[in-house]
Amino acid sequence: MLEEFQKSIKAVLYDRLSSPLAGAFILSWFVWNWGLIYYILTGDETRYTIERIEYIKENFLSEKYILFFPLLSVIFLVFLYPFAANLVYRVMLMFNKQKRDIKIKIENDQCLTFRESVEIKETFRKQEEVFKKFNQDKDEKINILKRENDLLKNKIKKIENDNKRKELSPEEKAKIDKILIHNLGTKDDEFKKIIESKYNRHFLSMVKYINQGWGFGEDIDNNAVGFFIANDIIEQTNRASIYKLTTRGKEYLKYYYDNIETKN
C-alpha cells in the first residue's frame, strides 16, 4: 500500500516537473535566488538556527526574487524565447537560401543556354557535311585519276603491242590479225545477240537514267537489269540503285548506234 502511494506521488511529481512551465520556473528560481542557496549550503554553522532564519528573512526572502523575477523569466522562456528562436532560425534559412540562389546563378551563368547548344550542334552538323562533301569530292577525283591512269596504261600497252607486232615476221602478223578478226567477230556476234534480245528495248532508257545519275525507274524491267549485268554491259556503283556503263557497255553503246545508223 505504501509503495503504491509512493509510486503515485513520484508519478505526479514527475508529470508536474517534466512540464516546460514547471521546469522553467524552477530554473529561473534557482538563478534569481542563488545567494540563498549558497548561504544555506555554505553558511556559518556556528550561528543558531533562529539567527540564520532571521538573516535569511532580512536578506533573501524578498517577493521580487522569490516570485516576481522568476515569473518574468518563466514568461520569457516559455512564451517569448520560442518566437526569438524562430526568428533567428528564419533569418538563418533566409541567408542559406540567398547563398544557394547565388550559387545556382553562378552555375547557370557558366552553363550554355539551350539556344547556344542548338547553335553549336548546328555548326558541328554543317562542318560534318562540309567534310563529308570534301571526302566525296576527293574520292571522285581519285577515281577519275585511277581511270585516267588505267587509260594511260592501256595506251602504253597498246603501243608496246604495236611495237612488238612491227618486230614480228609476216606469218606471225597474219596469225595475230586472224585472231583479232576472230575475236572482233565473236564480240560482234555477242552484241548482235544482245540487240536481238527482248530486253534490248530497255537499253536506251537505262542509258538516259545512267547519264542523269538517277536510279532506274519503274519502266525498266528488273529482268532487263539482270540481263545487262550478266552480259557485263552495266554495273552497280558505290551508291545504292545507281548503275553505270562498263567498258564493254560503252563499246556496246557505240556498236548499237553504229547499227542503227547503218539500218537507217
186-237 pLDDT, tens digit each: 567 788 888 888 888 888 888 999 998 888 888 888 888 888 998 889 998 8
Q: Is residue 100 very low, low, confident or very high in pLDDT (cuts 50, 70, 90)? A: confident
Q: Is the pLDDT of residue 97 over 80?
A: yes
pTM of the full structure: 0.32
Among 234, 227, 238, 226, which Cα is nearest to 251's? 234
In percent, the amount of the chain with pLDDT more than 70 equals: 55
Q: Is the pLDDT of residue 86 over 70?
A: yes
Domains in the chain: boundaries:
6-107, 138-167, 178-264
Cα torsion 58, 64, 66, 71 to 10°: value is 180
Give the per-residue pLDDT at 245: 92
Identify the DSSP state of 231.
Answer: T
Q: Does domain 178-264 have CATH number 2.60.120?
A: no
Q: Is the pLDDT of residue 160 over 80?
A: no
Distance CA 233, CA 224 (A): 11
